[in-house]
Amino acid sequence: MGSRGWKAGALLAVLAGAVALGAHGGRCRGAGAGARLVATGSSTLAPLMAEIGKRFEAHHPGVRVDVQAGGSSRGVQDVLAGMAGLGLVSRPLLGAEAAQLRAFALARDGIALIAHATNPLPGLSTPQVRAIFRGQLTRWEQLGGRPGPITVVSKAAGRGTLLVFLEHFGLQAAEIRAQALVGDNEHGVKTVAANPGAIGYVSIGTAAADVRRGVPIKLLALDGVVPSAEQIAAGRYPLVRPLLLVTRGEPGGLVRELLDFARAEGVDDLVRTQGFVPLER
């Protein structure tokens, strides 16, 4: 279980079996030992899917669920190419993607702006965020903070968090004036934690968990609303996104069983543990 690397030939052979089981409606109890499903994509969603996969395996002896991160765009591309049975996507599907893929909501997440724990500012407004990431505000004292330069930490291309951030704030990727680009959420947290002048944006669930572990970051309020799962559930926090599982065509067999399992109330405890908001039922 987990995000292990595979040799290309072995992976393709395994996936061929998984895809065949899904396409022909085979069920777990008839799959036999060694049946494997592969899910790739969003680094935000991968830890939750790994935990769901472990629980699914416990209920389905002989089935293995392999989860690998790499970004939402990778999840989309792998499913379209037949390299994965499930894609993990932490943003809405784009036009062309929506025409080719089926999307199933798994949970809701928010994106939090984060700063170093020693930063005295409690939060930022939407216009201030736009100005910071466009390079129009470059020093913390311009915002009422301690004197010093602002280090902008943004996400690399292909990350779902980046696309949701740009869409929410009405920004274009070319406008961002970043001093550092990061990949997954933990990379973003570590970068901000290491620089008292930094600002970045990551999953609320990841940021909140790191704060509880003593990582020196803080979550900044956005337009006066503190980012949290509770505020998302109440409909008050503005920067929210869906966490999706995507398939190529109508899923069947093992893929359908895992999808149904992942979206059932029986895993809501895992969703909450990751700092996300379960589906409304």
The confidence score (pLDDT) of residue 1 equals 46
Domain locations along the chain: 8-108+243-278, 109-233
Check if 8-108+243-278 and 109-233 are the same fold.
Answer: yes
Return the SS3 of 113: strand
- Look-up: residue for tokens 């001093």? 179
Q: What whole-number distance in Å separates Cα of residue 65 and Cα of residue 92?
A: 24
Fold of 8-108+243-278: D-Maltodextrin-Binding Protein; domain 2 (3.40.190)
Helix (H) or strand (E) segment spanning residue 63: strand 63-68
Return phi, psi of residue 239, to 5°. -105, 85
pLDDT tens sequence for the chain (281 residues) = 443 333 333 333 333 333 333 333 323 333 445 789 999 999 999 999 999 999 999 999 999 999 999 999 999 999 999 999 999 999 999 989 999 999 999 999 999 999 999 999 999 999 999 999 999 999 999 999 999 999 999 999 888 899 999 999 999 999 999 999 999 899 999 999 999 999 999 999 999 999 999 999 999 999 999 999 999 999 999 999 999 999 999 999 999 999 999 999 999 999 999 999 999 87
- For the domain covering 109-233, report its CATH number: 3.40.190.10
